[in-house]
A and B are shown apart, each in its own frame.
Chain A
Amino acid sequence: MTEKDFDLSRRSFIDRVLMATAGAGMAAAVPWASAAVGAAPLAKSDRVRLGVIGTGDRGRALIQNIAKTRNCTVAAICDNFELHLAKGRALVDPSTRTFTDHRAMLDAGGLDAVVIATPLDLHKRHSFDAFDAGLHVWCEKAMARTIDDCGAMVKRTQDSGTVLQIGHQRMFKPTYLNAVKRAKEGEIGAITQIRASWHRQSSWRRPVPAGATDRQINWRLYRDSSAGLMTELATHQIQVSNLFFDAVPTRVMGSGSICFWKDGREVYDHVALIYEYAGGRKLIYTSLLNNARYGCEEQIQGSKGTIEPELGRIYQELPPKELALLRMQADVASGHKRAVPIGGATWFAELPVTTPGEPLGWGEYDETMLQFEGFGEAVRTGKPLPGLLSQAYSASVASLLGEQAMDSGQILNWPTSLVAI
């Protein structure tokens, strides 16, 4: 793609975000999106200087997205595993400083913020060290390994007057923003249930290269460093659920098991949870690693329709059919004989309706770039993107609360001791 092509694509993407966020109530519902779109482009010498901690697969994807922004630049990278650091080095300008220790990177200075793409259990320490160095933090989801650590990160950013932004790219995706807009406009009626799933056909286990340990590479499979499916996948979709319900859950129940991949892992490979929201609304969530038939999707179910944002489609409920034969029974009982209307629709009771629905919007994948432009603007102005940290904090807490509910077999209420944002 040429630079001109990219500019056009970017302009088109931004236009779509603007269109999606222009509806009534959208400014309050997704305030971060329009703020990110308004980020001022900066000259290369003035761009927000980012130090990336962690140049594994995710960290390198982030580096590539940062390179697309018009207000951020990668000024340093860091990884304690040489193979990952070498792969990261290949993506940045040769003059970019590289480190094997994040403390050394922070001490070296020359940064405005850090990007943390390390194992979950390290997020808190790395972000604390960055805050202590006076830097802002963009951190991969989930926030931290425990609910207390999530709160501590929120408290620390508040106390230090820094920006903490968590990576939830769906919050910047035009398809999702358009879905929220259409739901706010009442197109699918009252939303009472969301079914969400992230099903994969994969062990999630990565080959361990020479010089690395299994726990270093496969940290997602071990409890010390991860809550597995809950913090790596569910947190995204719980955040979507909170957004559409415009609330956080009131309580959660669930069941988790190592059902298929009995390979020494410690985290569940199969989870099923119900998150309750005020008024009896529910998120029904499942994630597993041995069947990909239903993939990744959220089904936003309202009284008038359904939205499936990953598929980018909106469906209207079919009007209820007249129960002609029931009417016939009543007619006979009352001595009344009249024609029974039949035909047309084959009557599939209790089976899924597979009407094609309508396209919901747009599906370009530049949202990770946009969230970094939003972060760059937040760092430049010293003002966090409004509403975003609250969304991320709630999603991380919910995912970890779900883990606790499964571990304990108990129904757990939403914590009352969370840090206020």
Chain B
Amino acid sequence: MADVVRFASMGTRVELHRFGAGEDDALTAAQRAIEAVDNALTIHRPSATTALNERLMAGQGAGIDDPLLFDALVAIEELQAATLGLFDPAADRRFASAGWSAIAFDRNSARIEASMPVALDFGGFGKGFALDRACAVLRAKGVVSACLSAGESSIAVVGEHPLGGGWPFSIPHPLRPDEILVELELIDESVSISSTVGAGTAAPERAAMIRPIDATIVSAPRCSVAVDRLGAHAEAMSTALLVADEAQAECLLHGDRTRRFLFDFPRGAAIPINQPG
């Protein structure tokens, strides 16, 4: 048995493909889980996050009542540290000093304070976080084989491929679609792809990648790929790789060269010079 649901959420198209076992309502429940994350983390309509941002921008602290937002903040605090501070949902190109370092999050009291006006934009992290929630729902509903996509640059898989073994994916060159940057096989993992070049970078409302150190926009032609057990972690790592300088990138890649990749393309020539390690 194979079934699929397709819907728009988080500003993109989401597809959930389930193969084989699982409860009848598994996909519907997974869709609800993704929509719940979108409702909590979006900054494009009123949400728990926009309410929080209003207080933070006004220089006020806030209690975190929304459990999804709380869990997201917990994850972000960990990922921020794990990515050398390069994944930073509080980075703001208007203010070089804005960033997660201005935030004090006390998970015991579920309270957040900021030393200067800041606003959170969860961006791609939200997609990975939502896919993690959906995967958890699918597993709880007895699903053993599924592929979840949020805008193609964020993929998560549950279990093995329905024909056995890993789920095979190829990452095309963003400027030369006939060429493949890297091929991957995933089992119970997520992959996130970030890029400063390619058709997707012209998508509507797409925010530029900000380098947290100096709040500049990353404009160099570059593409990063990160695989992790959790989609939220994969998203944070691909974002961090994209904004990293050479030393930082080496440090991050050193963690797992079979699951993290960074491709720099010369301006104009668009030829990858850093092959996967």
Interface residues of A (CB under 8 A from B): 318, 324-325, 328-329, 332-333, 335, 337-356
Give the contact stretch, choosing among B91-99, B135-143, B167-175.
B167-175
B residues 127-186 touching A (CB-CB < 8 Å): 147, 149, 151-153, 155, 161-163, 165, 167-172, 174, 177, 180, 183
Contact B13 A353 (CB under 8 A): no
Q: Is the CB of B2 within 8 A of A354?
A: no
Assess whether B17 is interfacial by the CB under 8 Å rule: yes
Known: A348-B12, A348-B203, A354-B203. A338 touches B151 (CB 8 A): no
A345 partner residues in chain B, CB cutoff 8 A: 152-153, 198-200, 203
- Minimum CB–CB distance for B130 against chain A, Å: 15
Chain A residue contacts of B149, Cβ below 8 A: 325, 342, 347
B77 to chain A minimum Cβ distance, whole angstroms, is 26
Residue interface mask B37-58, A partner, CB < 8 A = 1 = 0000000000000000000000
Q: Are B168 and A347 in contact (CB under 8 A)?
A: no
With A335-B163, A339-B170, A351-B204 as known contacts, state yes or no: A344 contacts B199, CB within 8 Å: yes
Chain B 201-237, CB within 8 Å of chain A: the 1/0 string?
Answer: 0111010000000000000000101000000000000
Residues of A within 8 Å of B191, CB to CB, are 342
Q: How far is the CB of A335 from chain B (nearest CB, A)?
A: 7
Chosen A-B contacts, 10 in total, with CB atoms closer than 8 Å, are A329-B2, A329-B17, A340-B167, A341-B172, A342-B193, A344-B152, A346-B12, A346-B153, A348-B11, A348-B204
B195 to A337, Cβ gap below 8 A?
Answer: no
| Chain A residue contacts of B12, Cβ below 8 A | 346-349
The residue in chain A whose Cβ has the minimal distance to the Cβ of B124 is A346
Chain A: minimal CB distance from B56 (Å): 27
| Chain B binding surface SS class | strand
Shortest Cβ gap from A65 to chain B (Å): 39
Are B13 and A347 in contact, CB atoms less than 8 angstroms apart?
yes
Q: Are A346 and B168 in contact (CB under 8 A)?
A: no
Measured between beta carbons, the chain B residues less than 8 angstroms from A348 are: 11-13, 151, 203-204
Q: How far is the CB of B194 from chain A (nearest CB, A)?
A: 9
Neighbouring A residues of B161 by C-beta, 8 Å: 332, 337
Q: Name A342's contact: one of B152, B165, B204 (CB within 8 Å).
A: B152
Which of B153, B168, B206 has a CB less than 8 Å from the CB of A343?
B153
Q: Is the CB of A349 within 8 A of B8?
A: yes
- Once A and B bind, how many residue pairs between them come within 8 Å at the CB atom? 107
B265 sits at the interface (CB 8 A):
no
Q: Judge whether B15 is part of the interface by a CB distance below 8 angstroms.
A: yes
- A244 CA / B214 CA spacing, docked (Å): 50
- With A and B bound together, what is the CA distance between A26 and B191 in angstroms? 53
Contact present for A353 and B152 (CB under 8 Å):
no
Cβ-defined contact, B151 with A347, below 8 A: yes
Known A-B contacts A325-B17, A332-B2, A342-B193; A347 and B170 likewise in contact (beta carbons under 8 Å): no
Q: With A and B bound together, what is the CA distance between A340 and B171 in angstroms?
A: 8
Beta-carbon contact of A349 and B13 below 8 Å: yes
Closest-by-CB residue of B relative to A350 is B8
Which A residues touch B170, using CB under 8 A? 339-342
Judge whether B174 and A343 touch: CB under 8 Å.
yes
Tell yes or no: B74 within 8 A of A by CB: no
Cβ B169 vs Cβ A354 within 8 A: no
Determine which residue in A318, A328, A333 has the highest number of CB atoms from chain B within 10 A of its CB, and name it. Answer: A328
A392 to B266, CA, bound (A): 55
Q: Does B36 contact A (CB under 8 A)?
A: no
Beyond A318-B199, A332-B162, A348-B203, 8 extra complex contacts between A and B, CB < 8 Å: A328-B17, A342-B169, A342-B170, A343-B223, A344-B152, A345-B198, A346-B152, A347-B149
Q: Is the CB of B206 within 8 A of A346?
A: yes
A324 vs B153: C-alpha distance when bound (angstroms): 12
Evaluate contact between B172 and A344: CB separation under 8 angstroms: yes
Give the CA-CA distance A355 to B203 in the complex, in Å.
7
Complex interface: chain A residues within 8 A of B177 (CB): 344
CB distance from A355 to the nearest CB of B (A): 5
Instruction: Determine whether the beta carbon of B163 is less than 8 Å from that of A338.
Output: no
A342 near B153: Cβ-Cβ < 8 Å: yes
A24 vs B193: C-alpha distance when bound (angstroms): 47
Given contacts A343-B172, A346-B206, A324 and B17 within 8 Å (CB-CB)? no
